[in-house]
Structure formats: C-alpha cells, structure tokens
C-alpha cells in the first residue's frame, strides 16, 4: 500500500494521510507505522483521507483505532491481539468523537464498514477538505 502525506494548516497544523488501495490484514500495519512516524515527528492532528482506499477490513478498523489512541497519548493495543483490540474499540464507542483524528471522503465501500462498525460515532467524517481542516481546534 502506498501512503501519501501532505500538510494543511487550520487553527492547528494537520497531517493529511492518504492510503492508496486496500486497508486490510496485509497493509494495516503500514498505516499504523506511518502514524507512529508522524506522531514521533510531532504530528498531533491527523486527517485520514480515505478517497483512495478501495476496501477496509476489520484490520483496517484496528489501524484507525490504534492511530486514534496514539494521538490521544494512550497505550496502544498489541496489533496481534485480535479480539482484544476489538474489545478496546468497543469501550471507546461511548467516549464521543475523537479530537485528534478525523476522516475525509471515505469511498462507499469504506463508508459502509465505518457505519457497520459504529466508527462514525467515534470519528468525524467530512466530505470537504476545507471543512475538515477547519474542524480541528486546540
């Protein structure tokens, strides 16, 4: 999976990350690693542009949750823990929308997965880049 990163500036600096292709068991660790690299380099606000993501499996959902936890400064789940990672996601559903990670332009296939998993209750989803950038605040 190719992952491109650009920068945007709103009230805060935002890294815009675009994964290209399927976000599944063969690629989700790449997205987590890119998130870790960006976080280590100082990124605190991330907009995940899913317009080029053709498919997302449960492993992709784990990647999104892992990045959200990382940006919040929380302990990351073991990427090999399987259902334990899902239990952690379930506990997050009642915490409200995440402040540091937001989504942009999910493809219809990905949008369906976000709806089925309840991730639209956890992560803001935007269809306009300017609107998404403006939604981040301190």
Tokens representing 52 are 């080029």
Q: Which residues of 83-92 are buried (b: 16+ CB within 10 A; e: fewer)?
A: eebeebbeeb
Tokens representing 138 are 């301190």
DSSP-assigned states of every residue in 39-107: HHTT---EEEE-TTEEEE-HHHHHHHHHHHHHHHTPPPPPTT-THHHHHHHHHHTTS-S-SSEEEE---
pLDDT tens profile 54-91: 999 989 998 998 999 899 988 776 656 555 555 555 55
pLDDT score of 111: 97
For 2-135, CATH number? Answer: 3.30.750.24
Tokens representing 122 are 């956890």
Domain ranges of the chain: 2-135
Lowest mean pLDDT, pick from 4-18, 47-61, 71-85, 115-129: 71-85
Query: What's the whole-number average pLDDT of the chain?
Result: 89
pTM for the predicted model, two decimal places: 0.89
């Amino acid at each position: 999976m190719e992952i491109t990163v650009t920068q945007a500036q709103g009230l805060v600096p935002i890294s815009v990350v675009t994964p290209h292709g399927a976000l599944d068991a063969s690629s989700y660790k790449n997205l987590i690693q890119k998130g870790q690299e960006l976080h280590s380099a100082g990124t605190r606000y991330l907009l995940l542009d899913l317009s080029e993501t053709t498919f997302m499996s449960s492993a992709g959902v784990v990647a999104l949750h892992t990045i959200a936890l990382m940006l919040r400064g929380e302990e990351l789940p073991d990427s090999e823990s399987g259902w334990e990672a899902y239990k952690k996601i379930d506990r997050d559903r009642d915490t409200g929308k995440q402040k540091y990670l937001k989504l942009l332009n999910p493809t219809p296939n990905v949008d369906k997965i976000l709806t089925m998993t309840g991730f639209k209750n956890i992560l803001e989803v935007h269809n306009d880049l300017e609107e998404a950038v403006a939604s981040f605040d301190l």
